[in-house]
Amino acid sequence: MKVVYDPAQKRHYPGFFLTSGARAPNPETPARADILLSAALAAGLTQELPPDLGLAPAASVHTPEYLDFLARIFTRWQRIEGASDEVIPNIHPDRRDGAYPLSAVGQAGYHMADTSCPIGAETFTAALRSAHAAAHAAHRVAGGEDAAYALCRPPGHHAFKDLAGGFCYLNNSAIAAQALRGITARVAILDIDVHHGNGTQGIFYDRADVLTVSLHADPTRFYPFFWGHADERGEAAGLGYNFNLPLARKTGDDGFLAALDRALTRIAAFCPGALVIALGLDAYEGDPFAGLSVSTPGFRRIGAKIAELGLPTVLVQEGGYVCDGLGGNLAAFLDGFGATHRVPRSAGA
Ligand code: ZN
């Protein structure tokens, strides 16, 4: 299997982070990519640089207004006397269907859901390369490979069509799914990150061609708080095509795998031609976010279970933060997935 990754993705190095109102180091560090790449290579994957695909992958799921904002906001922000080094919002609209502000400060509030997605000089470049990794991995699978791993960093699943949030700018999993729509009428996205994939849900909420399923810590008391509840089932044509499985804090392997069974049953009933895994590793018991309690052997079991679907699959890296288990958890997932994954010749067409 290929690991698709460009070291330029490390050029984004966010500094600002607030946790319960207190300043702290931003945990979405470039070191994550080094750890994950080492683990993927040690697991036998071979690295491939994504080609420069320009704006097309991002434009397949994001609005032009938002992409224009991301491309220019850092330069505009620097023109504000006394502005912070990174773009960080300090005001948000209470509704999103009103007037669109001209001000850089107003637009930052409009396009950034929280303070966890600061924009620096290299953020858009790194996010574009991360999106290219997702798109290229999807193109490989669309071209006939059984699976590919996109080492996406910065991550993407909290990014809506016109809104950054939670370390995410461009929604890599959604971009991969949209690319796979070119080869099949139905694509499923399964998000196993400890945080609800709210951006992914939002992008496909009114669509029946992309099923979105997410397992995550119950948002009643966990980020992203305002999305990820079980009664969010989709709308319009997409009603019934979004499935959330919120889990009690500290749920361990057995509880997670029981919910995964329900998720996989729903996905099988959708009869997709391809699958995207939003592969967060922060459900780990030792992850700094401490939401769920999946063990390293648990990730092997999760990988093996997902592989039993027998679908052409794009693995898209989401969360998972620096801790002793990070590389081992990716290796365990890839080992379990690779040992079981077989795509029947008729699938994927
Ligand atoms: Zn996460």
Q: What is the residue-wise DSSP string for 74-132? A: HHHHHTSTT--SSB------S-SSSPPP-SHHHHHHHHBSSTT--B-TTHHHHHHHHHH
Residue 270: pLDDT band by 50, 70, 90 thresholds? very high
Q: Which of 234, 171, 175 is nearest to 197 (CA)?
A: 171
Distance separating alpha carbons of residues 113 and 171, to the nearest angstrom = 14
Give the tens place of pLDDT for each residue, 71-86.
999 999 999 999 999 9
What are the extents of the domains in the chain? 2-52+120-340
Give every CB contact of residue 48 below 8 A, 6+ residues apart in sequence.
Answer: 2, 3, 4, 5, 136
Query: Is pLDDT at 160 greater than 90 in this prediction?
Result: yes
Task: Copy the structure tokens of residue 96.
Answer: 């999103």
Mean pLDDT, residues 171-179: 99
Separation of 7 CA from ligand 1 center, angstroms? 22
Give the long-range contacts of residues 99-104, CB within 8 A, separation 24 or more.
100/65, 104/73, 104/76, 104/77, 104/79, 104/80
The answer to whether residue 157 is catalytic is no
Residue 205: pLDDT band by 50, 70, 90 thresholds? very high
Distance separating alpha carbons of residues 295 and 285, to the nearest angstrom = 6
Mean pLDDT, residues 46-61: 98
Separation of 19 CA from ligand 1 center, angstroms? 14
Query: Is pLDDT at 223 greater than 70 in this prediction?
Result: yes
Mean pLDDT, residues 92-100: 92
Separation of 275 CA from ligand 1 center, angstroms? 19
Distance separating alpha carbons of residues 234 and 192, to the nearest angstrom = 19
Report percent pLDDT > 90 for the chain. 98
Mean pLDDT, residues 135-157: 98
- CA 217, chain centre distance (Å): 15
Query: Is pLDDT at 347 greater than 70 in this prediction?
Result: no
Mean pLDDT, residues 221-225: 98
Q: What is the pLDDT of residue 345?
A: 67
Separation of 319 CA from ligand 1 center, angstroms? 4
- Collapsed DSSP state (helix, strand, coil) of residue 278: strand
Query: Is pLDDT at 307 greater than 90 in this prediction?
Result: yes
Decide if 138 contacts 180 (C-beta within 8 A): yes
Which stretches does DSSP call E strand in 130-241?
A: 147-150, 187-191, 210-217
Q: What is the pLDDT of residue 309?
A: 98
Q: What is the pLDDT of residue 282?
A: 98
- 279 HSE (CA, 13 A, CB side): 30
Give the tens place of pLDDT for each residue, 9-38.
999 999 999 999 999 999 999 999 999 999
- 164 DSSP β-pair partners: 112
Pick the catalytic residue from 111, 139, 158, 195: 158
Give the long-range contacts of residues 223-230, CB within 8 A, separation 24 or more.
223/166, 223/195, 224/113, 224/158, 224/165, 224/166, 224/195, 224/196, 224/198, 226/198, 227/196, 227/198, 227/201, 227/202, 228/195, 228/196, 228/198, 228/201
Record the pTM: 0.98
Give the tens place of pLDDT for each residue, 250-269.
999 999 999 999 999 999 99
Separation of 150 CA from ligand 1 center, angstroms? 16
Mean pLDDT, residues 293-308: 98
Distance separating alpha carbons of residues 100 and 207, to the nearest angstrom = 26
Q: Which of 328, 246, 256, 320 is nearest to 294 (CA)?
A: 256
- Average pLDDT of the residues of the chain: 97
Q: What is the pLDDT of residue 207?
A: 98
Mean pLDDT, residues 210-214: 99
- Collapsed DSSP state (helix, strand, coil) of residue 252: strand
Q: What is the pLDDT of residue 346?
A: 61
**Class at the top of the CATH hierarchy for domain 2-52+120-340:** alpha beta
Mean pLDDT, residues 190-196: 98
Query: Is pLDDT at 242 greater than 80 in this prediction?
Result: yes
